[in-house]
Amino acid sequence: MEYFLNSEGSVVVRDIINEIRSNRDYLGEIDGAIGDGDHGINMNKGFSMAGERINQSHSFSEAAKTLGNVLMMEIGGSMGPLYGTLFKRFFRETKDHDRITAEIVLKMLESALDGVKEIGGADVGDKTMIDTLAPAVSAMRAATISHCSFRDALMKSLEAGREGRDSTKDMVARIGRSARLGERSRGVLDAGAVSCCIIMESMTESIPAILRND
């Protein structure tokens, strides 16, 4: 059975933080096209603040909890509660497990998707982060059911997430700030769909590097 040790997993969260920080300007540019341009700044601020409180001695679950709490409590914009919920769900679904398998990652992603949908009210097609997350979760589920390796399941999930991210380009925003633009929101990617894909990309790199098999 393939798994990573929860106790060794804070690197997964620390890598996500670094990737979001490196993409601050890019996320700002994308949000600037149809939003208010603050997505990069919001994300960078929240993820950096959490990064200062997370170190190697933390588990994956503890790191996800810290990140979720900081985003939820201390950051403005839509992304605080949305990504706060996502990482708090990562914590909730993993905290009782020493070994994190593909099945547990699937549960964690399913729960995160449900949580973000519950608090944001968005669904597939509204031009939000959900357009990345939902297909990524479905592909992870399909891969897990067909007993793909952990790495392949993550890769398939990422592929679907990337397609979902790209699909936001032709959508008209139906929720959030950019919805006010109506038809004019068509033709550019959604910032949250892009940041969500960066998170998936980072996990797909980091998790295989710490996998064990016994």
Asked whether position 71 contacts ligand ADP by CB under 6 A, the answer is no
Work out how close the CB of 196 gets to ligand ADP at its nearest, in angstroms, rounded to a whole number.
7
Interacting positions 147-176 with ligand ADP (CB under 6 A): 175-176
* 53: its two tokens: 């409180």
Work out how close the CB of 136 gets to ligand ADP at its nearest, in angstroms, rounded to a whole number.
14
The DSSP secondary-structure symbol of 190 reads: -
Residues 39-58: x/- map of binding to Mg ion (CB under 5 A)? x-------------------
> What CA–CA distance (Å, rounded) separates 134 from 3?
23
Asked whether position 189 contacts ligand ADP by CB under 6 A, the answer is no
C-alpha distances out from residue 105 to 31, 34, 111, 204, Å: 29, 33, 10, 11
Nearer of residues 24 and 97 to ligand ADP, judged by Cβ: 24
Work out what residue 93 binds among Mg ion, ligand ADP, none; the CB cut-off runs from 5 to 8 Å by kind: none
Residue 66, Cβ density class (10 Å: 0-12 exposed, 13-18 middle, ≥19 buried):
buried
Asked whether position 31 contacts ligand ADP by CB under 6 A, the answer is yes
Residue in the block written with tokens 């999930």: 157
> What CA–CA distance (Å, rounded) separates 140 from 79?
24
Residues engaged in binding ligand ADP (CB under 6 A):
31, 35-36, 38-39, 42, 77-79, 82, 116, 120-122, 128-130, 175-177, 190-193
